[in-house]
Structure 1
Amino acid sequence: MSSEIPRSAEKDINPGDAANTNGFNGNVPTHQMSREEHEVARAAARFGYGPLAHVNTAEAQLPPFGGEFQPGLYRSVEQRKFANPAPLGLSAFALTTFVLSAINMGARDITEPNIVVALAFGYGGLVQLLAGMWEMAVGNTFGATALSSYGGFWISFAIVLTPGGFQIVKSLTVTTASGQSDETMFYNSFGLFLMGWFIFTFILLLCTLKSTVAFFTLFLTLDLAFLLLGIGYIQRNDAGKPNPPVIKAGGFFGLLSAFTAWYNALAGIADTSNSFFIIPVAHFPWSPTGRERRQKTDREVA
């Protein structure tokens, strides 16, 4: 079998750099490449994104990619002294969301989510907020806005749940004439809190429509989780408690969001230095990468 790269594959290696279609890294001709470099080039050509998509970083723009938490075309930060902070922020979000969502679904008969306070302060909150600030440093406005905001969400969520600390639940609980505790005002307030995050997440969701399916799915499932949880707290059951089926449905979509966040994080971490494979993501047909591939197919058919 010949080790030469097919012409159609070479075109994908350096998208946006029409003058350089014979090299895998912009400098080395294909006939001087090792077998391993050929395999890397084929993988880059096949998937067209991520660490294996070697491009002319001085000129070319990279396509939207969830592993960089970037839904639009962006310039590579390869020459800067900053690592990619997106996998860290995604991992912090994923783990905290996973634990809370599992509790919302009633895992192991846990009824109170107070264990999430530690994660929400330390990992989902502080670490994700720092990742968002580092996204600002690398010039990623979307990543900085999203990660910093969700870091703030987890910190505020932990403040609400901190036992005996801020007295938020207690101050929104009314004692009735019969001596019973009525938490209606707290549930309504918390429901509005979640609905606000549903609106914010929907705004971010609109910005992912031209990216990848994995990136879009992350925000879609998270948005549905916020919506269902907000409804569950506002539209309570006959006992005046958060609606269990709706809360469980919100927990289900939260779990999907957590695993999708981990998936995008792995896609941003895995490269030839640490992995035997790269993580495939699906590009929307109307995305920049999808349009480019469709144009190539049309030319080949013609």
Structure 2
Amino acid sequence: MSDIEKGVSSSSNGAGALQASPPPHSTAVLRPTRIANAGTLGLFSFASTTFILSMYNVQTRGIKTPNVVVGMAIFCGGLTQLLAGMWEFPRGNAFGGTAFSSYGAFWMSYATIFIPNSGILDAYGTDTSELASALGVYLFTWMIVTILFLITSLRKSAAFVALFGCLSVTFMFLACSEISASTTISTHLAKSGGAFGIITAFIAYYVGLSELLASEAKAVTVLPIGAF
């Protein structure tokens, strides 16, 4: 029996989501979707933006100002991921749609903070402690969201567990870096967050490549992601 006949939306490495079954006594007919898997698009966009910002956080080549990532965060990490999320919902993948859309919104909101004309940074004036506390709350909130995705990923694959686990630690270090009273400790925490962010980016690249290879009509080489 084919996946279409079973009402299953196939995806790479068996990580796809089951299409919603029609309610009892319903005349609705499940139809196969012709929308391609947008997982690789979302994962590559997320990985690339995360990698760039994380390289800044570890102060690669002495870079301390992250503003160059703003354009990348708006269009690649933000808009592209949001579109990938919107395409995942019609495929019946609520997890992928929610994750990509959420992190797309994260990147666009993060970029907006650093756009001069947004007035967000100017609103705090010279009170850097209040700004740091506000950014700390912002990052802790996304750590909570990421932990919720981590819990859900426990039913999917080892690769997704590693991805959301490392991302949760990344947010934790960056949030603690913002609220730390010591400049030295804050710098070390930010660098630690950057290091975990780089690891997160490469895991996302790996999973994205696995999705892309598996989506080919004549897929021969498939990278294992440890599907449960």
Q: TM-score scaled to structure 2, two decimals?
A: 0.86
**Paired residue total:** 218
Task: Please tell me whether residue 252 in structure 1 is matched to residue 195 in structure 2.
Answer: yes
**Counterpart Cα distance in 2 of 1:236 and 1:202:** 26
**Corresponding residue of 1:221:** 166
Selected match of 1:266 from 191, 205, 209:
209
After superposition, residues 62-141 of structure 1 pair within 5 angstroms as 70=16, 73-75=17-19, 79-141=32-94
1:94 maps to amino acid: A
**Residues 13 and 224 in structure 2, CA contact (< 8 A), matched pair in contact too:** no
Cα shift readout 1:69-115 (whole Å, capped 9, x = no counterpart)? x5xx5259993220001111111101000000010011111110011
- Shift, 1:173, TM fit: 2.8
Cα shift readout 1:20-77 (whole Å, capped 9, x = no counterpart)? xxxxxx6xxxxxxxxxxxxxxxxxxxxxxxxxxxx54321757996895x5xx52599
Gapped regions of structure 1 (runs ≥ 5) = 1-25, 27-54, 175-181, 288-302
Cα shift readout 1:271-301 (whole Å, capped 9, x = no counterpart)? 4557652101224xxx3xxxxxxxxxxxxxx
**Residues 67 and 264 in structure 1, CA contact (< 8 A), matched pair in contact too:** no
- Shift, 1:137, TM fit: 1.5
Please give the secondary structure, in 2, of the residue aligned with 1:57.
helix
**Residues 66 and 264 in structure 1, CA contact (< 8 A), matched pair in contact too:** no
Selected match of 2:125 from 173, 177, 180:
173
**Corresponding residue of 2:4:** 57
Q: TM-score scaled to structure 1, two decimals?
A: 0.66
Please give the secondary structure, in 1, of the residue aligned with 2:118.
coil
Larger radius of gyration: 1
2:92 maps to amino acid: G
- Shift, 1:144, TM fit: 1.3
Please give the secondary structure, in 2, of the residue aligned with 1:84.
coil
Selected match of 2:223 from 279, 288, 300:
279
Q: Percent of aligned pairs with the same residue?
A: 34
After superposition, residues 225-244 of structure 1 pair within 5 angstroms as 225-238=170-183, 243-244=186-187
**Corresponding residue of 1:151:** 104
**Counterparts in 2 of 1:58 and 1:90: CA distance versus 1, 3 Å:** same
**Counterpart Cα distance in 2 of 1:78 and 1:101:** 42
Please give the secondary structure, in 1, of the residue aligned with 2:5.
coil
**Residues 3 and 9 in structure 2, CA contact (< 8 A), matched pair in contact too:** no
**Residues 91 and 262 in structure 1, CA contact (< 8 A), matched pair in contact too:** yes
**Counterpart Cα distance in 2 of 1:270 and 1:142:** 21
Cα shift readout 1:164-200 (whole Å, capped 9, x = no counterpart)? 21121121133xxxxxxx4111111001000000001
After superposition, residues 12-31 of structure 1 pair within 5 angstroms as none
2:102 maps to amino acid: S
Please give the secondary structure, in 2, of the residue aligned with 1:223.
helix
**Counterpart Cα distance in 2 of 1:86 and 1:250:** 25
Task: Choose between structure 1 and 2 for higher RCO, CA contacts under 8 A separated by at least 6 residues.
Answer: 2
Q: Identify the structure with the greater helix proportion.
A: 2
Selected match of 2:129 from 184, 208, 227:
184
**Counterpart Cα distance in 1 of 2:94 and 2:157:** 18
